[in-house]
Amino acid sequence: MIKNLLQTYLVILLAYAGAAESRQLAVPGEFARIQLAIEQAENGDSVIVAPGNYPEAVDFIGRSILLLGNPDDPATTVITGSNEQRCVNFSRGESGDAILDGFALVSGVAEYGSGILVTNNSNPTIRNCFIRLNRAAYGAGICVMENSRPDISYCLINNNISTLAGGGIGAINSQGISITNCTISRNRAEIGGGINVSNSQLILENDILWDNDPEEIRSPNQEIVILFSDIKNGLDGIDGLVDWGDGNIDGNPSFINPDEGDFSLNWNSPCINTGNPGYPEDPDGTQSDMGAIPVSLEPNSAISLSANNFDFDVVQVGDSNTYTLWITNIGVEALEIIDMFIEGDYFTADLGQIDALQSRQTEQIEISFTPEEIGIFDGRLFINSNDPENDVINVWLTGEGMIPPSIYIEPLTIGVEIDSGEVEEYAINITNEGGSDLIWRIYTEYIEPDFANSPSDPVGPRRDDAGDLIVSYQLPYTTSYGMAWDGEHMWGVATNNNRLIEFDPESEEVISDFEIHIGPRALTFDGDFFWTSSYNPSNNIYLYNTEGELVDRFELPIRNISGLAFDNNSRVYINSWNEQRIYVVDIDSREVIANFEMLLDFRRANYKISRLEWVPGHFDGHLWSIVGNNEIDVGFAVRVDVNDDWQARERQRFQFQHVGHTSIAHDGANLWHAGEHENLLWHVYEDGIRDMKWLGIDPPHGLLQSEEDADVILVLNSNGLDDGVYASRVQIVSNDLASPEVEISVTLFVGNWSGINDETGSNYPLDFSLDQNYPNPFNAETRIQYTIHEPELVSISVYDVNGNEIIILNEGFMPSGSHQMTWNADKYPAGVYFAKLSTSKESATIKMLLVK
């Protein structure tokens, strides 16, 4: 990790070779487990551990021995607590000759010091270790207690979580603790996120403390000493007493990729060559760096590029895409740029005047791709320098120019009158007016028509029940706080049993059953992996494959994750139980791209959002949620529409027949939920979305090349329908970047129908008219009657004397004939108002007088 591995081994082993009759005990060569080797070792012996994964609790049991992993790459030799136990323990007065060197200590769980506990007058040496992903009440990474004084150096301590204090390091009643050349980052606790000190003395030197939450260091009752270290926000990042010595800075350390666990320093880091000048030089012969992972310069001039190729992907003709290339001299000598040029159609770069770069100097080049025609294009940036190892470098470039598809649909509003028992076909024409292939698909949903007193922003499909209960399945575990459909089977997490299970509805059997982390809490499937969370830490996401293998684990800036839903595109919706906010995370970058609040009426009634599900087929409200009140054990399924501005609006709500309401999922046709905490049942309901049996679509999807068009046939079938009005939203979703979703309104009028409050019926008059309201003047309520020639999209609005629209009385497709509605004006002040009737061809206005 800090020096050449061979050099490290030689120094350490030669030091121990001087001890009389010292031995080297090999794991797993001679001993299957590390602890077995320690128990057989004597003072002065060395236990040499080969790279591998060791799920055990290691205790030095007072031995003055060297426990040696891989100091050059600690990540290869892992001691894991398996989310069940502490990783390493020093509790029997170990001396400085008890050395832990070259290990990754992960997934420990304990009340104190789940990564390492140092207590009871112990003074061990801890160096070259990665300490991460541990959980404790206090001192999750390292906990020092009871007059102990460890020497900690060249350790990376990151992403540990304490529920109380000291996420990275916690120290209680101990003196003389030395922390040198350590990187302590992204640890979390209620107080003292990076380091928490209570009645203890610490000396920090050449360290980096960055992005710990809530503060970097907390030391309320004893002064700590800090020298030549990088502390985020400087003194403002410290809560407590501090001796702020020489050489300290507060600049961004510029880690290479901390999201992926790489806390190495970029070449522009202010932590390079700024450690204590009195310390030994780094292996490259330069002044010591800050942090756990020093950077070594090459002995001559040496070129380093931030990328060796750029794929500009698909760029619209006339637009441009630009990437930045960083060129750094990572050598001691000056780097001379002898020649540099760019080749390839439509690739350009501002090469400026880059002639030479001094040691550690960085310059940037902006490379752009601006296609002027359709096609795939390649190019290169050629660089010739005096780097003796890489004098000629090509940065390869590729990009595609395209004219995007553009969808045109005619018509956008359809109204058809037919008699009961008839079938009629209606054509929608789709044209691709763009330059590349248009891919489209059609979705439909039933709408409850509301022709009288309709709100200005009418809701979509609603039902107050979930439809029929289809079936219930008995599962072999108890509470299930997450369910997900993989396209064939239903999966779930058994929260109290730490299981991930796969259920086959056809055979009605659990066909896979895997043990996973403690307290799995939510579940969704992204097409490749299952995402799930946990109670502690509550901000971690675990990724499992369909074989139940953990493939990744990462932290999000979201506390108490209780619900997960993948949108079948590139985003995961995540519910924070504490905040009652929905966060939207990009699946590739794992960055939060939006967050929003929904269902405020539920929150006011002491209900909480818990689980989430996304149903792509329900275009007018994809996002479902379980909303419950645990005090009275009432749960609702709620469907909401999330618009482009991240505003959520309820579309449907119904109450479950069964208590528990602990999970929600959808299999493409029906809604599932888990209930009954102690006797786990999975219930399957009709989802409350009415089937569109009267409307058929052929074809439901297709592809159109540039300038091609096609007819989509709507088959309107009134067989089995009562006389009345039937309405649907037809949504055409495509890869048109400008109009990815186009909505068509379809209304079917069957037989001798009558609209809501339509007292005159349909008599096919010859005149377009808006009759005077009656009575007029009126007090509180008046009737408005109008007549139209033919089926038409109609809007009737009321305006005040200032021309402000105050209410939309009706907005929808109406058949030809005379229609009547009532306006209740109770909440409006007395005065003059105007009612306006509008269609696509005509309009009319009347004056009304409201008296009170």
**pLDDT tens for residues 529-573?**
999 998 777 788 999 999 999 988 898 999 889 999 998 888 999
In contact, 609 and 599? CB cutoff 8 Å: yes
Average pLDDT over residues 767-795: 87
Same domain flag for 631 and 723: no
Average pLDDT over residues 40-50: 97
The lowest-confidence range among 323-337, 390-404, 599-613, 750-764 is 750-764
* Residue 612 in domain: yes
> So what's the pLDDT on residue 675?
72
* Residue 667 in domain: yes
Task: Kindly tell me the sign of the dihedral angle through the C-alpha atoms of 129, 132, 135, 141.
Answer: positive
> So what's the pLDDT on residue 152?
98
What total number of domains does the chain contain?
5
Q: Give this prediction's pTM.
A: 0.54
Same domain flag for 505 and 452: no
State how far the Cα of 88 lies from the Cα of 105, in Å rounded to an integer.
8
Q: State which residues form the domain around 506.
A: 469-686
Same domain flag for 149 and 107: yes
Same domain flag for 629 and 719: no
Same domain flag for 444 and 478: no
Tens digit of each residue's pLDDT (9 = 90 or more) over 660-686: 557 889 988 888 888 755 567 888 887
* Residue 272 in domain: no
Same domain flag for 773 and 742: no
Strands 262-265 and 230-231: unpaired
* Residue 691 in domain: no
Same domain flag for 496 and 389: no
Same domain flag for 424 and 333: no
CATH number at residue 716: 2.60.40.10
Tens digit of each residue's pLDDT (9 = 90 or more) over 61-107: 999 999 999 999 999 999 999 888 999 999 999 999 999 999 999 99
State how far the Cα of 849 lies from the Cα of 852, in Å rounded to an integer.
10
In contact, 172 and 150? CB cutoff 8 Å: no
* Residue 591 in domain: yes
In contact, 126 and 151? CB cutoff 8 Å: yes
> So what's the pLDDT on residue 620?
60
Give the model's confidence band at 761: pLDDT under 50 very low, under 70 low, under 90 confident, else very high. very low
Same domain flag for 668 and 526: yes
Tens digit of each residue's pLDDT (9 = 90 or more) over 152-193: 999 999 999 998 999 999 999 998 899 999 999 999 998 999
Tens digit of each residue's pLDDT (9 = 90 or more) over 53-69: 999 999 999 999 999 99
The share of the chain scoring above pLDDT 90, in percent, equals 56
Q: How many other CB atoms are found less than 10 A from the CB of residue 396?
A: 14
pLDDT at 49 over 90: yes
How distant, in Å, are the alpha carbons of 167, 241, 459, 674 from that of 229? 19, 16, 58, 52
In contact, 845 and 835? CB cutoff 8 Å: yes
Average pLDDT over residues 214-220: 94
Same domain flag for 733 and 802: no
CATH number at residue 192: 2.160.20.10
> So what's the pLDDT on residue 4?
42
Phi, psi at 546, each rounded to 5°: -75, -5
Q: Which of 265, 288, 318 is the last residue of a domain?
A: 265
Residue 26: both structure tokens together: 């090999």
CATH number at residue 505: 2.120.10.30
The lowest-confidence range among 523-532, 636-645, 699-708 is 636-645
Same domain flag for 502 and 604: yes
> So what's the pLDDT on residue 282?
86
pLDDT at 454 over 50: no
- Between the ranges 132-146, 601-615, 683-697, 796-810, where is the mean pLDDT highest? 132-146
> So what's the pLDDT on residue 600?
54
Task: Kindly tell me the sign of the dihedral angle through the C-alpha atoms of 262, 266, 270, 273.
Answer: positive
The lowest-confidence range among 290-299, 687-696, 747-756, 770-779 is 747-756
Give the model's confidence band at 766: pLDDT under 50 very low, under 70 low, under 90 confident, else very high. very low
pLDDT at 575 over 80: yes
* Residue 351 in domain: yes
Q: Which of 367, 402, 437 is the last residue of a domain?
A: 402
pLDDT at 524 over 70: yes
- Between the ranges 215-229, 274-288, 472-486, 640-654, where is the mean pLDDT highest? 215-229
Element (H or E) spanning 165, and its range? strand 161-165
pLDDT at 402 over 80: yes
The share of the chain scoring above pLDDT 70, in percent, equals 89
For residue 810, the cross-strand partners are 796
Same domain flag for 439 and 502: no
> So what's the pLDDT on residue 464?
44
* Residue 348 in domain: yes
* Residue 282 in domain: no
